[in-house]
Each structure stands twice: as structure tokens, then as C-alpha cells.
Amino acid sequence: MSYYSVLDVTPTNTDWVKDYVAVSGKIASKHGGKYLARTATHEQIEGDDQPAALRIILEWPSKEAAENFMKDPEYIPHLEARTKGSISHHYLIEKKDDLA
């Protein structure tokens, strides 16, 4: 079953961004992940204002693949830098329709 990582990220400093972007795609790909969107071009069209500088969507072949990416020793220092240098929220969403 496919899963999606959906993130909103607002850097509080940009020291980590260049290194993060340089390696995160390669590490995600190693785990079967694929960036579908990684952009500052977005708009909120519903609900209370939830500002974020970046919106990111990744597709994973499984929940296990997403979790393995998050705990990959090569990724961990970049994850720590991102979480320390930003306000971030990460949602892991199963590709299914519970309301169907």
C-alpha cells in the first residue's frame, strides 16, 4: 500500500537547507520515495491560516519504506538539522479512502 509524506516547513535559519536539499532526494530514492512537490508556491484556500514557507509531498511504496528513510543513518543528521532549524510538521498518510 502506498503512503504519502506531507510536510509544511518554515525555516528559522537557512544553514541546513543547501546540504539537506543536496542529499534528501537521493536518500529518499534509496528507500523507494519520490518527491511529488517541494515548493514555496502554494496557497491555502480553506480553514484557519496555517502559514508555511514550503510544502512538500513525497510518495512511498509502503509505510515501512517511509519509516526506513526517517531512520536511515545517512538521513538522521539532515533530519536533525531540519527540525532544529525550522518549524516543521510531517504527516504520513496511507493511500486509501476510509469514507468510500
What pLDDT sits at residue 4? 98
Q: For 53-88, how does the pLDDT look when each residue is reduced to its tens digit (9 = 90+)?
A: 999 999 999 999 999 999 999 999 999 999 999 999
Q: For 21-49, how does the pLDDT look when each residue is reduced to its tens digit (9 = 90+)?
A: 999 999 999 999 999 999 999 999 999 99
| pLDDT band with cut points at 50, 70 and 90 for residue 2 | very high
CB-based contact 60:32 (threshold 8 Å)? yes
DSSP string for residues in 45-91: -SSS----SEEEEEEES-HHHHHHHHT-TTTHHHHHHHHHTEEEEEE
For residues 3-17, average pLDDT: 97
CB-based contact 21:40 (threshold 8 Å)? no
Q: Which neighbouring-strand residues pair with 88?
A: 9
What pLDDT sits at residue 30? 98
CB-based contact 62:2 (threshold 8 Å)? yes
pTM: predicted TM-score of the whole model, two decimal places: 0.92
| Domains present along the chain, CATH in parentheses | 3-43+52-94 (3.30.70.100)
